[in-house]
Structure 1
């Protein structure tokens, strides 16, 4: 994927990794359209960051269809980034966890699939098309606190692989962004200072894409501990280390 001259639509993007990546891509000479459920926040980011926003709830198929029609009426989009997602703690011994589990699947996994399904026929008609999915190091080594989040990210990893194989004879590039623990407020609380600083994560991710435009997975150094654990025959040790806190 080239890193300049694109028109990028991002599901999500009003905070955390999504917002910082949107800013970086904008500064590299791309047109970036972000989305989210809160119009007031989108308006604020449009004023402060000069990022165009579109109202979108990926849990609602009608909302995706409306956003697709709106953004493609104004722009020729060639890159889709499926950034929208939630991460919630769950106690699997408490039946009440099911509500969080269902919401996580609906937004993280089905929201990704719905968005790609809506945009893919359109992207196939564009020049230099790409889809960037977002999984996690937790797709490969689970954090016990967030079981359904881990499962959705593992599913996105597998889905991206299948999508890449099915699109092998097309021009659409499929890239998987695999973050480690990054200093964002994804879980609604202050980030752990031991996590990777957000600016360092985005710097390294963009650098990887610039140096390796044909990359299939964007893996910063910090995530290799998780991504390579099974291949290096140290998965039990990685699970223990990750969950020791």
Structure 2
């Protein structure tokens, strides 16, 4: 991935990880488009930064994604980087029958959303010659949090999908996975001040340093996510699963 001069779309860019990355890419010389449902949040994230642009997007609506992609590429023909960052995280009990609305919404946003957005932009990115797709997954793709089972499952699915995408697009589009640890954002209520979670600015700074490596790593992994990412490789999966979920409980 080029170190500056990119034109980058970040979904879910109005807050949290998306907004923090938008600021850092902007500050290093990239043009950034942030997309999300809430225009007010997008406006706040773009305030005072002339090269951050905003577009509203309902990532759960296939027709809206197709229209958005057409408008985006017409307005920003130099677009060469897609960062699939939009996501939701819901607590779901598994020990009793329940309303599956949260599970369905999580799958629509976290899994189908990135698949549809990538599909809508893939021909444009291939034609660019310097195209990049970055899929934001999670450390929970590798060791699940039992209280958020569908979230963890969608991130595991996106990890697998990203591996397939990387091989299918080899030599055409660079495909990168960004797997965050627990970060202080408002992904869940109270998370932005939760003790033990990585401060957002520290996370974003570490991510940008990893993106600056040459070549760009296929997986962007800050140090705090290594215990989850490599738990199975290092024969620590069962212990890590117990420790993670014990701490959460």
The normalised TM-score by structure 2 is 0.94
Question: Any unmatched runs of 5+ in structure 1?
Answer: none
Whether the 8 Å contact between 1:91 and 1:97 is mirrored in structure 2 is: no
Residue of structure 2 equivalent to 1:198: 200
Question: Is the contact made by 2:15 and 2:45 (CA closer than 8 Å) also made in structure 1?
Answer: no
Q: How many residues align?
A: 244
Q: CA offsets per residue over residues 99-158 of structure 1, 9 Å max, x none?
A: 111100000000010000000011001131100001100000111110000000000000
The reply to whether residue 176 of structure 1 matches residue 177 of structure 2 is yes
Identify if the C-alpha distance between structure 1 residues 7 and 160 changes in structure 2 by more than 3 Å, giving closer, same or farther.
same
- What is the match of residue 94 of structure 2? 92
RMSD, aligned α-carbons:
1.3
- Structure 1 position 96, deviation (Å): 2.6
Give how far 1:94 is off: 3.5
Q: TM-score scaled by structure 1?
A: 0.96
Match of 1:60 in 2: 61
Match of residue 225 from structure 2: 223
Deviation at 1:240?
0.8
- Matched residue, 1:32: 32
Question: The residue matched to 2:160 in structure 1 has which SS?
Answer: helix
The equivalences for 1:122-161 within 5 A come to 122-161=124-163
Q: Deviations over 1:143-202 (max 9, x none)?
A: 11100000000000000000011111x330000001000011101324312101111111
Structure 1 runs (4+) deviating above 3 angstroms are: 43-50
1:6 maps to 6
In structure 2, stretches of 5+ residues that fail to align are: none
Deviations 1:13-42 (CA, angstroms, capped at 9, x unpaired): 111001000000000100000001122332
Q: Secondary structure at the match of 2:100?
A: helix
